[in-house]
Amino acid sequence: MVVVPVAIRAAVEGSAALDEALQTEDVDLRIERLGHAARWRMPIATHDDRALDALIEIGEHGEADASLAAYREARRALLGTRAWGLSDPARFEMLCERIAAAMAAREEADASDVGGQGDPYAYHLQLLQDVPGPDPRMAGGAAWAFVAWLLTTVGFVGRGLDDKGRLQPKPATRWGLASLLLLAAWTVLLATA
């Protein structure tokens, strides 16, 4: 009951943004709307992949500024989609390489070296390849530790207390220790994610 309305909204909003992008002649608005469509990712819908393909096409055939803007928007869309990790690591890597190449070309044209390393391409590529956000494994571990903590807390109340609310020494100790350990694990995993 929760997933169906969200899935319908993602499909409707993503398709509407894609249609709006394809109908406009304004390149900046097209890039913005394609990025919006790509962020409404749905596993069975195709609007997000079509939007990413259109952004890459603008990047390949557009003028320098529009090209860089399209690649950046596609990269942001891949980072902003709701997926366990990156939804398309190969496409993300390709976008990082193209953005780094465009930034290096700009620096070469301006006779500058922002990174101060003598290799602007490598500098920008290194910055772009770092995926921001939590480590999916640590975040997943924290989520599972939280669920287990909730279950052990319910177990403590159900097994550690008798009908009159008095502690049952052995079960209360086992369930209470398990609950405390899982609470500590959840806190540590959440802090390191």
Alpha helix (H) residue ranges in the chain: 3-23, 27-39, 47-61, 64-80, 89-110, 120-129, 136-160, 169-192
Q: Is the dihedral of CA 116, 119, 123, 128 positive or negative?
A: positive
Residue 161 bridge partners (DSSP) = 167
Residue 45 has a CB neighbour count (10 Å cut-off) of: 18
Encode the chain (193 residues) as per-residue pLDDT tens digits: 777 888 888 888 999 999 999 999 999 999 999 999 999 888 788 899 999 999 999 999 988 889 999 999 999 999 887 666 677 889 999 999 999 999 998 888 777 777 677 788 889 898 898 877 777 788 888 999 999 999 999 999 999 888 888 888 899 999 999 999 999 999 999 888 7
pLDDT at 84 (0 to 100): 64
In 10 A of CB 116, how many CB atoms? 8
Q: What is the pLDDT of residue 53?
A: 94
Percent of the chain with pLDDT over 70: 97
pLDDT for res 186? 93
For residue 44, the model assigns a pLDDT of 83
Residue 89 confidence (pLDDT): 87
